[in-house]
Amino acid sequence: MWASGRLVPTAGTACIMLDRAYLRQNFEDVKSRLVDRTDLGVLDSFSDSDARRRVAVTRIQTLQHQRNLLSSKVAKARRAGLDALDIVKDARELHGEIKSQEHVVRELDEEVQRALNRIPNLPHETVPPGRDESGNLEVERWGEPPRFDFPPKPHWDLGVDMGILDFERAAKLAGARFAVYRGAGAKLERALMNFMLDLHTSQHGYTEVLPPFIANSKSLYGTGQLPKFAQDLFKLESTDYWLVPTAEVPLTNLHAGETLAAEDLPISMAAFTPCFRSEAGSYGRDVRGVIRQHQFQKVELVKLVKPEDSYAQLERLTSDAEAVLRRLDLPYRKVLLSSGDMGFSAAKTYDLEVWLPGLGVFKEISSCSNFEAFQARRARIRWRAKRGPKAKSRFVHTLNGSGLAIGRTWLAIVENYQQADGGVVIPNALRPYLGAERIDPEGRLV
RNA sequence: GGAGGAAUGGCCGAGUGGUUGAAGGCGGCGGUCUUGAAAACCGCAAGGCUCGCAAGGGUCUCGGGGGUUCGAAUCCCUCUUCCUCCGCCA
């Protein structure tokens, strides 16, 4: 286990999602706030294990205290030239008792941890209550869906017909839910990556980071994918390596275990990475095209901020992601997720959904969330306002959002900018990156 | 892959079984002095868990885990990371 417990939890091993003391003291309130997010039984099992653990911890600490007293008596006796054999004998008995109590505490530690691991984050007060996506709130709609004087096609027809997208050969190479991009298709993907990174680093103040595309269990625990969602990930056989499902994992964990200075914050990072997802449990969903793939490329935005700034920063991060859609002139809507539709670790999430005329639907292209201290507590990312007597360190708040998912941006462009002849016009903002104005029906950049 | 070496508080660095949660230095914070600053001097400064209404107490933490011992930063095992050399490789 990546967060294996010690006898008594220590700074290095006690990883929790919600603060235990907060949970204890606000138990009924927490329960009511999580009613749409989880089976409330996990809260009761936490409460029960936690109470038993505290009794056991108190007991072992008493024993350890007695042992320490005896040990210092031995030390004094030795210095005085005495052998202190009777004290040693008593202490030896204590030793056995402590050892057996250690097992009790260790088991209860793990029990508490297991319960905590299953409790999701508390939704922010501005989050609409709801069991699922039906409780979501559309907060904004931007852009005009393009009008066509022909029936718009889905991207899988357009891409395959132009010869820039190949599913059959991808299936031969790897399997279902993979795609091969060729020629203008591959170059469009690369142009989008550069366009997005350039925009965020030069206009929005993000630092570009190129992280490993593989992460260890500890990192995946830090951001909340583990232990609960292991089935959604690809693991490399007989190693502790996992393919990253999103750059959120390496970027958020970049400062894991550190105490940052106030002047370091906020930290804003942007990274391009491929993302790998097993898509277990999504059989039959989005089976055609490149909407749902085992591997897709994404530019991710991550911020580490002071708690008091985090909701203002969520608005900024979301608008940074929106800026990509606006510059590409892609119509979209902004949706505030309900408490039941949010991810496990999030306190508040906006989804950006791009209009796909070929499919006639809005489809998620970015998800921007404030995790408050949930991830920071697990990854132990702290900050300190200043050093000195009263300078207590606190957890940072973490945020992330796609800026954007490149595969879905690719298909949004193909579908929104499609022409009657089967070609695609390149959005103005992208032309410098492609050196062309359109992709012709034969898949050539012209 | 093979052979060696190393890991101590924000940083550097002492410390090989018994007031060492940890000397000393640097850096930080507060103060004295100063018109102000610097220098000098004085003082304060880790985290987790737990008991307690509180004041305060206890316990654990010297890369991670385990062991020996009445007692471990110090001894043993193991893992991780870093450094040096050899081999291999983009």
Tens-place pLDDT, residues A395-420: 889 999 999 999 999 999 999 999 99
The reply to whether A43 Cβ lies less than 7 angstroms from strand B is: no
DSSP string, A255-275: TTT-EEEGGGPSEEEEEEEEE
Per-residue pLDDT for A4 more than 50?
A: no
Pick the catalytic residue from A106, A364, A394, A442. Answer: A364
Q: Omega into A357 within 30° of 0, i.e. cis? A: no
A93 annotated active-site? no
- Residue appearing with tokens 């749409």: A36
Per-residue pLDDT for A2 more than 60?
A: no
ipTM: 0.85
Q: Omega into A404 within 30° of 0, i.e. cis? A: yes
Query: Which positions 239-298 on chain A have a beta carbon less than 7 angstroms from any atom of strand B?
Result: 259
| CA distances from residue A427 to A13, A183, A185, A187, A336 in whole angstroms, order as listed | 50, 18, 14, 14, 28
Q: What is the DSSP letter of A235?
A: B
User: Closest nt to A92 (CA→C1')?
Assistant: B70
Q: How far is the CA of A6 from the C1' of B9 (A)?
A: 22
Are A158 and A358 within 8 A, CB to CB?
yes
The reply to whether A387 Cβ lies less than 7 angstroms from strand B is: yes
Convert the pLDDT of each residue in A366-388 to its tens digit: 999 999 989 888 888 888 766 54
How would you class A94 by CB atoms within 10 Å of its CB: exposed for 0-12, middle for 13-18, buried for 19 or more? middle
pLDDT at position A310: 92
Strand partners, A103: none
Q: How far apart are CA A166 and CA A177, in angstroms?
A: 11
pTM for this prediction: 0.89
Instruction: Please give the average per-residue pLDDT across A127-143, as a whole number.
Output: 95
Tokens of A72: 């210092």
Pick the catalytic residue from A292, A326, A327, A380. Answer: A292
pLDDT at position A391: 57
Q: How far apart are CA A438 and CA A426, in angstroms?
A: 5
